[in-house]
Amino acid sequence: GDSVTQMEGPVTLSEEAFLTINCTYTATGYPSLFWYVQYPGEGLQLLLKATKADDKGSNKGFEATYRKETTSFHLEKGSVQVSDSAVYFCALSDRAAGNKLTFGGGTRVLVKP
Amino acid sequence: NAGVMQNPRHLVRRRGQEARLRCSPMKGHSHVYWYRQLPEEGLKFMVYLQKENIIDESGMPKERFSAEFPKEGPSILRIQQVVRGDSAAYFCASSGGEETQYFGPGTRLLVL
């Protein structure tokens, strides 16, 4: 079945540092890929998405490129802020199964001033 | 345009009681998904519903759990005879049939 693996946290960074969160996936079809962010005590917010190979999703300074050859969708941000402290989830959508989402385990990011 | 609404936000139940979680999708959305997040874990798919129909319940435990999405009113996730292992955050998401799902704030269930 489908699966998503992302790097374990916590990831602790200083403000203005470069952030990378690795995400790889296994899927039988051609999924769409997503990054969601969860702030403490809240639900998930869609951060960005990509629907086909070589697509780049971007939002709020975050970027991720759909790499079919390496089955990866790594999240990057060039200069993090304290407000980026959250848990980040990589996910894939299975079109053949009603678009249900399969999530990675989440990566907690803590940005210190 | 209101987002996905869930209530209650927090629910405390004693073992053996019933828990009833509600989800109102975004306006115009007729597809509802339920996910469960155990402490310090990712989200796991439970069930996918469209109005009056269960499309995929492959992630639902076989016993005690049920879901519905009636023609009128919110979607309901019902857990009968709760046990401590049911303590988790339950998230509802909705879509208009496309791939992107929009999540509610979740219901945090604590079973004493």
Q: Which pLDDT tens digits describe chain B residue by residue (112 residues)?
A: 579 999 999 999 999 999 999 999 999 999 999 999 988 778 999 999 998 899 999 999 999 999 999 999 999 999 999 999 999 999 999 999 888 999 999 999 999 9
Residue B39, SS3 per DSSP: coil
**Residue A11 pLDDT exceeds 60:** yes
A-chain CB neighbours of B102 within 8 Å are: 46
Q: Are A17 and A58 in contact (CB under 8 A)?
A: no
pLDDT tops 90 at residue A98:
no
Q: Decide: helix, strand or coil at residue A56.
A: strand
Nearest to A65 by CA among A46, A50, A45: A50
Q: Degrees (nearest 5) of the Cα angle B93, B19, B84? A: 100
Task: Enter the tokens of residue B98.
Answer: 């496309």
Cβ atoms A68, A18 nearer than 8 A: no
Q: What is the pLDDT of residues B23-49, one digit of tens each?
A: 999 999 999 999 999 887 789 999 999
User: How far apart are the C-alpha atoms of A61 and A49, rounded to whole Å?
Assistant: 14
In angstroms, rounded to a whole number, what is the distance separating the alpha carbons of residues A1 and B75?
27
* Mutant choice from B101, B108, B110 vs A, greatest count of A C-beta within 10 A: B101
Query: Between chains, do B42 and A104 touch, taking CB under 8 Å as contact?
Result: yes
**Residue B13 near residue B111, CB atoms below 8 Å:** yes
With beta carbons under 8 A apart, name residues in chain A contacting B56: 97-98, 100
Interface contact B41-A105, CB threshold 8 A? yes
Q: Are A58 and A50 in contact (CB under 8 A)?
A: no
| A–B CB contacts, 8 A cutoff, strictly below | 59
Quick one: DSSP state of residue B26?
Answer: P
